[in-house]
Structure 1
Amino acid sequence: MGIIGSTIKPFKATAFQAGKDFFDVTEQDLAGKWAVFFFYPADFTFVCPTELEDLGEHYNTLQKLDVDVYAVSTDTHFSHKAWHDTSEKIGKLKYAFLGDQLHTLSKNFGVLREEAGLADRATFVVDPDGVIQIMEITCEGVGRNANELVRKIKAAQYVRAHPGQVCPAAWEEGAETLAPSLDLVGKI
């Protein structure tokens, strides 16, 4: 798919966030911060609220990591507000929901199911330079795990802050990293 390492494309979307008026978000608003784009098929569905609630349980941790969170579906910002106002699970969430009814973001990230007009279940992590560092796409019936997302973000932030270092499988914050070199070839 060639999207890892690419720069986020220009966009403008209207957001709903609890306690705020509707507001616009563009790629310029991401400058200098990490961002998560958490695509899901639709409001008022089944797996989606469980994932969004799980992500919400990690929102404070993500904020401490200087990560903005954007939930995205092809619904409007009005639908996001209505869902927030009527769902116990969604009503607890503090992060922004972007309306993508024109499919700009879903197309930019390559996750639009054209025949359905819905986004795939997909997650993208964008670094402070607007470069996509992490992506995950699952089938519609399989929910994501926010613990694993947080772990991957910590690893990406570590690698960015420590050039020449990489994080091995299942790396956790504080664990040993690797410095790739010819000396390691065939010894791991």
Structure 2
Amino acid sequence: MQGLKKILSSVLLLSFICTFAVPDEDINLKEAPKITVQKSTVKLSSTYFYTGLGYSYLNMDSDSSNTDTGHAITLLAGYNFHKYLALESRYTATINDSSVHNTSADFDQRLDISNIALYLKPKYSTGGLTMYGLLGYGQITFDNGISHSENSFQCAIGAQMEAIYNIDVFVDYTKLYDDNDFDISTNNSDLSIDAVNIGVKYNF
């Protein structure tokens, strides 16, 4: 009798173990939820202020066969209010005596030249390169002991390239004056003044 009880106990224990050892087919293992990380893109604003500093090489030609050249610095500030348009102001002033070249001799003379102007700046960008023009009105002044000034339409063409974060490098050619009304000229001779500028600007 005791042997029969042991056999029955062993059978019941084995049945119990087998019951919990077999996986329940009704249990569905759920997959871990997928986490999707969306990349955020920052769109740079098309409206911003900027300022800059440059070196300018000034050249002045007249019908009297004189050519004056000088070295200058240019300060600029502007506001980019559209993808294709900006408003820019510039101030240029010589930092040394001008050099005079004519058919008879070359010499230096004291002649301070400055220019202040306001421009509309149409531009077009592709990649990191921007082509632009400057169209505006300015006042150029000569001072050789007596100050002479004249207002005129001014224009330029140039290009700028992204250098590092928020900093661009630019180069342009500017026509500052081309007429015969300047009171420093004699005999109504035609006077042409232009500048080649190279510099950097910072975008805020």
* TM beyond 0.5: no
Larger RCO: Structure 1 or Structure 2 (Cα < 8 Å, ≥ 6 residues apart)?
Answer: 1
TM-score, structure 2 normalization? 0.24
Q: Which has the larger radius of gyration?
A: 2
TM-score, structure 1 normalization? 0.25
